[in-house]
Structure 1
Amino acid sequence: MDISGLISALIVGVIIGALGRLVLPGRQRVGLVWTVVVGIIAALVGTGIAGAVGVADTRGFDWIELIIQVALAAVGVAALEGARAGGRVHR
C-alpha cells in the first residue's frame, strides 16, 4: 500500500467511524483512534459484503455499500463501548 492508499484509508475510516457514532444514541466514550480503526475495518468489511451481494459497483454513488459500512461501524463502536463499560462498576 502506498502513501495515498494509506491516507485514503484514514480519511474513509474517519468518515465511516464518525457516521457510525452518529447513528448510535447517547454518548460513546470511544476515542478518535478507536473510531478510525473501527471505521477502517467497517469500510473494508462493508466493501467485501457489498461485493459479495452484488451491490458494490453501481452507477452513481454506492448508497447501499455506504449503509452497510456505517451499520458495521455503529456495531463496532457499540461493541467497544460495551466492552469498556463491562469492566466498570456502575453506581
Structure 2
Amino acid sequence: MDLGFWDVISWIVFGLIAGAIARLLVPGKQAIGWIMTILLGIAGSFVGGFLFSLLPFGRPAGDFSPTNLIGSIIGAVVLLLIYIYATKKR
C-alpha cells in the first residue's frame, strides 16, 4: 500500500473529526490535547471502521461513507471511555 502525502493528511483530518465528535459525545472533561484527539480518532477509525465493514450494510474499510464515519465515531467513543477508565485516579 503506497501512502502519499494527501493520504496521510486525510487520515489526520478524518481522525481529528472522529476524535472531536467522540469527545463531544462523552460527558465530562477529558484531559487530552489535540494530538491525542487525532490519535484517538485514527485508532477509533481502525476499530470501528473494521467492525462496521464486517456488517452486511458495511462498506470496505478505508472507503469514505457515512456508515464508516459512524463506525469510526463509535470506535473512538469506546477507546475514549477505555482511556478515561484506565487513567482514572482511584
What percent of counterpart residues are identical?
Answer: 27
Aligned match of 1:77: 80
Relative contact order (alpha carbons < 8 A, sep ≥ 6): 1 or 2 greater?
1
Aligned match of 2:46: 44
TM-score (norm: length of structure 2): 0.78
Report the CA distance between 1:26 and its aligned residue.
Answer: 1.3
| SS of the residue 1:53 aligns to | coil
Bigger mean CA deviation after superposition, 8-17 or 63-72: 63-72
Q: Deviations over 1:11-51 (max 9, x none)?
A: 00000000111111111112221111110011122222222
Report the CA distance between 1:4 and its aligned residue.
Answer: 0.7
- The answer as to whether partners of 1:16 and 1:43 remain within 8 angstroms in 2 is yes
Provide runs of 4+ in structure 1 moved above 4 Å: none
Which structure 2 residue ranges, 5 or more long, are not aligned? none
Aligned match of 1:10: 12
Aligned CA RMSD, in angstroms, stands at: 1.9
TM-score (norm: length of structure 1): 0.77
